[in-house]
A = this chain, B = another copy of it.
Amino acid sequence: MTLMERDDNHLSSVKNALRILKSFTMDEPEKKISDLSATLGLNKSTVSRTMSTLASEGFVFKDPETKKYRLGLSILSLSGIVNSHMDVYRESQPVLNRLVENIGETAHISVLDNLEVIYLNKVECNHPVRFLTHVGKRNPPYCTSSGKVLLAFSNDKIVESVISKGLKKFNKNTITEPENLLLHLKKIRHDGYAHSIEEFLEGVNSIAAPIYDYKGKVIAALSVVGPKQRIQANKIPSLSKRVIQAAMDVSERMGYYPRK
């Protein structure tokens, strides 16, 4: 470890362990020690000992059949604590349940974290698009409806940072011009909702609206997402009213008093 890293005053062996945990993904929920060694640039005995320590506290376990490591149930225990003490998570649950029942599409609550959208809650409809999103999933904020809502009500520095990171083209409708994105955000502030028509994922549309706290600050976004065959462009105006209303319902449960 270089002196530069040392000056950072973070514990490098703890960082190793956390980087190992974060290397598990949806696509790769199982990991071999040798692969982690290669990916993270750590000696395989370092990885082996760190994994062993993580396993001793239940953060990972070695699958006896595949001999690979997977994330363990201590993660779930902690996530229950994270969820249960999030006001917006708790207050949104019944509203999302009703919305999903009425509209018939999957709905989410999300926030901006580290210049990304992260989904805090999700209620699936009866005919979900499999593996589209999941609680904890992170997505780019500039080409998802909830991300655009959150950016629209964020300060300029955050928007500039997202733009600086680059607006990668994920799909044919992805916004890649900074000026175009800023225009979109302006319109979103005016309309009170955002939509995404195949901006991020092929064949996937979504609509989102802001959730306010008791101070009137936008703290989260509520969104519905589904295939374009079911969330057709011509249905977006009527659906957006439902989404705005649901987001307002959650806001009111958060103590927000809308001014008429």
Residue numbers of A with Cβ under 8 A of B are: 8-11, 13-19, 21-22, 24-26, 29, 49-50, 52-54, 56-59, 70-85, 93-94, 97, 111, 113-114, 118-120, 124, 126, 131, 134-138
CA distance A184 to B182 in the complex (A): 66
B94 touches A126 (CB 8 A): yes
A-B contact pairs, 10 of them (CB 8 A): A18-B54, A18-B59, A18-B74, A22-B74, A22-B78, A75-B82, A76-B118, A79-B136, A80-B119, A81-B134
CB-CB under 8 A from A111, the residues of chain B are 73
Contacts of A131 in B (CB 8 A): 84
A16–B56 Cα distance when bound, in Å, is: 12
Number of copies of this chain in the oligomer? 2
A59 proximity list for chain B (CB < 8 A): 18
Residues of B within 8 A of A126 (CB): 94, 97
Assuming A17-B17, A73-B118, A136-B76, is B10 touching A49 (CB within 8 A)? Answer: yes
Bound form: Cα–Cα A57–B17 in Å: 10
Which B residues lie within 8 Å of A57 (CB)? 15, 18-19, 22
Residue pair B75, A79 in contact (C-beta under 8 Å): yes
How long is the Cα–Cα vector from A72 to B97 in the complex, in angstroms? 25
Contact call B137/A77, Cβ cutoff below 8 A: yes
Query: A58 near B11 (CB under 8 angstroms)?
Result: no
8 more CB-based (< 8 A) A-B contacts, given A18-B74, A80-B136: A8-B56, A11-B13, A11-B50, A22-B74, A70-B85, A76-B79, A79-B135, A79-B136
